[in-house]
Each structure stands twice: as structure tokens, then as C-alpha cells.
Amino acid sequence: MADSRPALLMIVAIANQKGGVGKTTTAINLAAALALRGKRTLLIDLDPQANSTMSFLEMPEVSRGVYDAIVDSTIGLKDVIVPTPVENLSIAPSRIALAKLEAKLVGEMDAHFRLKDKMEPIRAIYPNIVIDCPPTLGLLTVNALVAATHLLIPIQSSYFALEGTDDLLETIEKVRARPNPELRILGVVITMHDKRTALARDIRTQIKKVFGQKVFKTVITKSVRLEESPAYKESIFTFAPGSTGATEYYRLCEEVMDRA
């Protein structure tokens, strides 16, 4: 479904140092939703676990990835980008080697700017970029925040939902203070929500109290289909187009485009 609105020229980092909150699910399906609207989109997998990459590609076919582009001055990001089965969507894949990046760049003056510098030559090609960050606040996530125009924070509606958000917000302010003053919090999306339970409803209320208008109206509910789709190398839109998950990620994409 093509969208008549102009390209947004946005780089969205999807980050939360807490694991298991739906970062990768949000990254792959937001990127796919943008692409399905006719927006040329790049998904950058910045997580050494490579779950975004495995959602679209067979790992034995990935000979080099983001790590190679960041550490090797002779390799550009465009040299590692490959198309996905989704029209208009490409991916800069990850490999386990990415886990070595922090040790590799220790002491380098431009360590926090490597990803941003590598992205500059491709900005005209990919007006919409989604970055799947690892569940840490280390060098990889800081690289994403320095390169991004916007930050999207997925928070699971569980008992420990807000644990660690203070650290994330502190890191955001440090990045804004110097390397990337233009970074904006695009919003907070509540994920893996079970509306049947009183606890989930209470946690949703708490999240809204903390983040106010930054919380997206769209809530991503728990879904077996969302969990299954990566195993079939598909986004939710082709794996289960009539599912609740597909509807919710379409709506989230609409909100993202309206806010950006």
C-alpha cells in the first residue's frame, strides 16, 4: 500500500537496554511497514545476536556485515547491504563478530561516530532507516543514538517494565548534550501487552504516567503470530496479514510517520 506522503528522512533507533521487550519484533515490522508503503527503507542490525538478520536471511549466506563496514575503512555500509524479500526493504546484516566491536575501537577518538560516518553516503538512497539496537547501553547503542534522528523505546507491560529506563534516559541526555543535540524521543510503544490481566493494565497506566504524551496510542498485544513469523523469514504482514499483530504494526507505522 503506497503512501503519497513525501519521504521522511528519518533514522529511528529502537533501543531499551532491557532484553526481551520486543525491540527486534518492532524493528523488523516497523521497517517492513514503511517499505510496504512505498518508502525505500534500510534496516540496520546492530545487535550481535543478529535476530533481525535471521528474520530475513539465512546466516550462512551473510559473508560480511555492519562490523566489517565499521572497522574497515575500505568497506562502505553500501557494500554490506543486501535486499530482503520485502519490496523496498534492504538490510545491513549483523554477525557475531559485532560483539568484538567495543574491544576493537577502545581508545579510538571517533569510536562513537563510526556508524554515523558510514551512513552519510547512503542517506540519499535510504531516506528511512531503522536501527535495531542490542540490549545494552554500550558502544553499539551509543553509535546508534549518535547517528539517529529519532529514538523509539519499546517497553513491555510487565512488572519490571520501567526497570532501567532512568539509565536509558540519562544516556540519551548525554548524547544530546554533545554528539547529537538533534536526537528526539519519537515515542514509547507498549509491547507484549496482555489486556486480559489487571497487572498489564496497571503497568500500562504507570508507563503513561512516566512518559505522558510520548506513549503511542497503538499498543502491541501478545501474539503467537508475531513470535512465529521470523522463523519463516517473513514480516508479520506476509506471514499473517489478517492478524492483530499486522494491524497494530500498521497503526504504529502511521503514528511514527505522523510524529516524525
Distance CA 88, CA 180 (A): 28
Say yes or no to pLDDT of 1 above 90.
Answer: no
Instruction: State mean pLDDT over 237-244.
Output: 97
Say yes or no to pLDDT of 3 above 80.
Answer: no
Instruction: State mean pLDDT over 208-236.
Output: 95
The whole-chain average pLDDT of the chain stands at: 93
pLDDT (0 to 100) of residue 195: 84
> CA-CA distances (angstroms) from residue 253 to 11, 41, 78, 86?
14, 13, 25, 16
Query: 137-146: per-residue pLDDT in tens?
Result: 999 999 999 9
Q: What percent of the chain has pLDDT over 70?
A: 97
Distance CA 154, CA 161 (A): 10
DSSP H/E element including 27: helix 23-36
Say yes or no to pLDDT of 2 above 60.
Answer: no
Query: 24-49: per-residue pLDDT in tens?
Result: 999 999 999 999 999 999 999 999 99
Say yes or no to pLDDT of 150 above 80.
Answer: yes
118 half-sphere exposure, CB direction, 13 A CA radius: 27
Dihedral (Cα; 78, 82, 83, 84), 10-degree rounding: -130
* Cβ–Cβ under 8 Å, residues 36 and 88: yes
Q: What percent of the chain has pLDDT over 90?
A: 83
Instruction: State mean pLDDT over 128-152.
Output: 97
Query: 204-213: per-residue pLDDT in tens?
Result: 999 999 999 9
pLDDT (0 to 100) of residue 199: 85
- Looking at residue 117, the DSSP 8-state letter turns out to be H
pLDDT (0 to 100) of residue 8: 55
In the chain, the domains with their CATH numbers are 10-259 (3.40.50.300)
pLDDT (0 to 100) of residue 159: 79
pLDDT (0 to 100) of residue 212: 95
**Burial bucket for residue 67 (CB in 10 Å: 0-12, 13-18, 19+):** buried
Instruction: State mean pLDDT over 102-107.
Output: 91
Instruction: State mean pLDDT over 163-168.
Output: 86
Say yes or no to pLDDT of 108 above 90.
Answer: yes
* Cβ–Cβ under 8 Å, residues 130 and 30: yes
